[in-house]
Amino acid sequence: MTSTALENQLIVGAILFALGMIGFLTRRNLILIMLSAELMLHGVSVNLTAFGRYHGNPQGQVFTIFVLTVAACEAGLALSLILTLYQRRKSLDVFLWGNLGEDDLRVLSGSSSSTQPTTKVVDPNADFPHLTPAGRAPKSPVTKT
């Protein structure tokens, strides 16, 4: 196993990671966002096995097995969450949940309005708690003179 082969595998892992990051940032489908995260995990796994082969010990593969375990847990939890979210809004669009941020943040919306699904299904069960805006310093009781 020469150094060149290790380099090539690291480059392939980096490219897979970058592609997954692009998908995670640009796609608006909840399921495709999760699949892009899995693509990033693939890039990391390629790196780990390449280093394990390079060093000649099984630690890289053992770590990849743990990555696989966490990926399985993540997929299960993500699917149940996505099903719950879909039941509330009847859509997989992530922008329909853009109002979950705090009041002073800009609400995410599409760049154009023509393809934007603006019809929100009003769910009678949706009684979200009102969050007080955080991150602001309270007024100081001591007034500066």
Partner 1 sequence: MNWSPENGMLLLPLALGWLAVWWLLPREKPRGRILGGLIGVAALLVLQATVLPPAGDLVHDVMFYAFAAAAILCGGLMITDKNPVYAALWFALTTLAVCGLFLLNSAPFLAAATIIVYAGAIVVTFLFVIMLAQQGGIGGYDREAFQPGMASLLSFALLATLLFSLQEWGGIDGKAADEARHGQFVSVPTTVQANLLSQAPESNPREIGSLRVLGRSLFTDYLYAVELAGTVLLVATIGAIAIAPRRSQGHL
Q: Binders of partner 1 among 126-145, rule CB under 8 A?
A: none
Residues 48-107 contacting partner 1, CB under 8 A: 49-50, 52-59, 61-62, 64-66, 68-77, 79-84, 86-87, 91-95
User: Which residue, among 53, 77, 75, 49, has the nearest Cα to 63 in the 3D structure?
Assistant: 49
Three-state SS string over 83-140 comes to HHHHHHHCCCEHHHHHHHCCCCCCCCCCCCCCCCCCCCCCCCCCCCCCCCCCCCCCCC
Least separation in angstroms between residue 111's CB and partner 1 is 7
Q: Determine if 37 is a binding residue for partner 1 (CB under 8 A).
A: no
Least separation in angstroms between residue 142's CB and partner 1 is 43
Q: Are 92 and 30 in contact (CB under 8 A)?
A: yes
Smaller CB distance to partner 1: residue 70 or 131?
Answer: 70
**Total interface residues for partner 1 by CB under 8 A:** 84
Smaller CB distance to partner 1: residue 115 or 140?
Answer: 115
